[in-house]
Amino acid sequence: MTSSVYMDNHATTPTDPRVVDVMLPYFTEKFGNPASRQHKYGWVAESAVENARNSVARILRVDSKEVIFTSGATESNNLAIKGIAEAYSSKGKQIITCATEHKSVLDVCKHLEKFGYKVTYLPVNEFGLIDLNVLEQAIIKETILVSIMIANNEIGTLQDVEKIGMICAKKDVIFHTDATQAVGKIPVDIESAKIDLLSFSGHKIYGPKGVGALVVRNRNKKLKLISQIDGGGHERGLRSGTLNVPAIIGLAKALELCNDSMDEEQKRLSLLRDKMQNAFLTELDEVYLNGHPTQRLPNNLNISFMYVEDNTLMMSIKEIAVSSGSACSTAQPQPSHVLKALGLNEERRHSAIRFGLGRFNTEEEVDYVIDRVIQAVKSLREFSPVYKKRVATKQTVSELQHPK
C-alpha cells in the first residue's frame, strides 16, 4: 500500500499521463496563439484547437460549431444561465432549477433574482429526484430556462434527463444541464434528451484544470446567448479571451480516453463501490446510504456513519482523501444543502462522507479503505455517550425480550 489513498474524484481527478503527453508540445514547441492568423505558429495552434473541437463534438455527437471552450463548468454554467436570461428577458424572467444543484447554478440564480428574475427551486424526494409532474406544472408562459443537472456531485443521483428534455421541448422552454459529473462517466445522449445547453469540465475526467466547454445546440432553433466576457470576440463571439491551447488539447484527449474505456470503467467502479457499501452496511450498524440506491453514478458512495461526526472521522483517516460534500462549498463550511434538501436530519447530515472512486483506484486500496474506515468508526463510537447509551438500551430490551 502507498502512504495515501485518493478517493475524492468528484472534487477533481489526477491528470492522466497520456493527457499530459499530448499537452506538453503546446507549451514549448507549438506555443502560438490560435488568433494569430498571420504566421505558421498561429496556424498550427488554430488547427490543433479545431481538431480538439472536432474530437469533442464527435464524442458528444454534436456539430463542432456547437462546442464553446471555457475555463470550466462554473464559467459554462454562468454563460448558459446568464446568457439565456439576458437574451430572452423580453419573453419572460422565470427560471426553473433544483434545490440540489451545484453552487455555480444556484448562486447564479440567486444573483439574477436581484435583477427581477423569478427562480423556482424544485424540491427533491429522499433519493434526490425531482418530481416530473411538479416540473411540468412549474413551467409557465414566462419560463425561459430549465436548468437541471444530470448527476449530483454529492450523492451521485441521476435525474431522468430524457423525460425532463421531453417536457421542456413540449413546453418550448430551453433546457440546460450541468453534466460535469456525467460526461465521460456515463453515456450522455444530448440529442435524445433534447438538451439545448450542456456544461462540463476537464478536471473531472482526468484532464487539466482550468478548461471546460459549453455545448450550445442549434438543432431546431438557433439559440440566442449573450456573452458574459467581452473582448476579441473569440469562440464565435460567445467567450472572448486567448484560448488555453494546451488545456483544450488535454480536454479532448481526456474525453477520448474516457469514451474508449467507459463500459469497462463503469463495471469496474460499480463493483468496487458495491464492495465498499456492502462492507460498511455489514460490519457496522446504523450506516445509511444517501442518494438513490440504484439510479446513481458508478463511482459515487455517500454514506452516513451515525454517531460519528464527519470531520472527526476524516481526521482519523488522514491518509485517505475523502470529503463531506462539494469541493466548491468547503471554502465556506456549512451543512450540505444537498443532504438538507433530501430531508435528512442534522445528525445524519453531519455524519456523511463522500467516497469518489476513480480510474487509478485499485481493489487493494478499496480493501484498505474499508478496513481503516470500519476501524475508525468503531473506535470513535467508543467515545460517543449517545452511541453507548443506545447500545445499552438495545441490550436491556434484548434481555427483557429473551430472558435467560
What is the predicted pLDDT for the residue at 215?
98
Q: Report which secondary-structure segment, H or E, holds 98.
A: strand 94-98
Q: Distance (Å, rounded) from C-alpha 158 to C-alpha 137?
A: 21
Phi, psi of 353 (to 5 degrees): -125, 135
What is the predicted pLDDT for the residue at 326?
55
> Taking the model in full, what pTM does it have?
0.93
Say how far residue 357 (Cα) sits from the centre of its chain: 13
Cα–Cα nearest to 175, from 146, 135, 152 = 146
Query: What's the burial of 397, exposed, middle or buried (CB within 10 Å: 0-12/13-18/19+)?
Result: exposed
What is the predicted pLDDT for the residue at 388?
80
Query: What's the burial of 364, exposed, middle or buried (CB within 10 Å: 0-12/13-18/19+)?
Result: exposed
Residues in the chain: 404
The cell 430572452 sits on which residue? 88
Cα–Cα nearest to 182, from 10, 62, 353 = 10
Q: Which CATH number fits domain 17-257: 3.10.180.10, 2.102.10.10, 3.40.640.10, 3.10.105.10?
A: 3.40.640.10
Strand order in the sheet with 174-178: 67-70, 212-216, 197-201, 174-178, 143-147, 94-98, 118-122
Say how far residue 248 (Cα) sits from the centre of its chain: 20
Per-domain boundaries in the chain: 5-10+262-401, 17-257
What is the predicted pLDDT for the residue at 240?
94
Selected catalytic residue, list 98, 168, 258, 328: 328
Q: Which fold has domain 5-10+262-401?
A: Aspartate Aminotransferase, domain 1 (3.90.1150)
Question: Widest CA span of the chain, in angstroms?
Answer: 93
Cα–Cα nearest to 165, from 141, 140, 189, 137 = 189
Beta bridge partners of 186: none
Q: Distance (Å, rounded) from C-alpha 330 to C-alpha 156?
A: 18
Written as one string, the DSSP assignment of 55-67 is: HHHHHHTS-GGGE
What is the predicted pLDDT for the residue at 120?
98
Contact 174, 223 (CB under 8 A): yes
What is the predicted pLDDT for the residue at 219?
75
Contact 327, 9 (CB under 8 A): no
Cα–Cα nearest to 322, from 301, 346, 338 = 301
How high is the mean pLDDT in each 10-residue block of the chain (404 residues)?
87 98 97 95 97 98 97 98 97 97 98 98 98 98 98 98 97 97 98 97 98 91 89 91 97 98 98 98 97 97 97 97 71 79 96 98 98 97 87 60 60
168 is catalytic: no
What is the predicted pLDDT for the residue at 222?
81
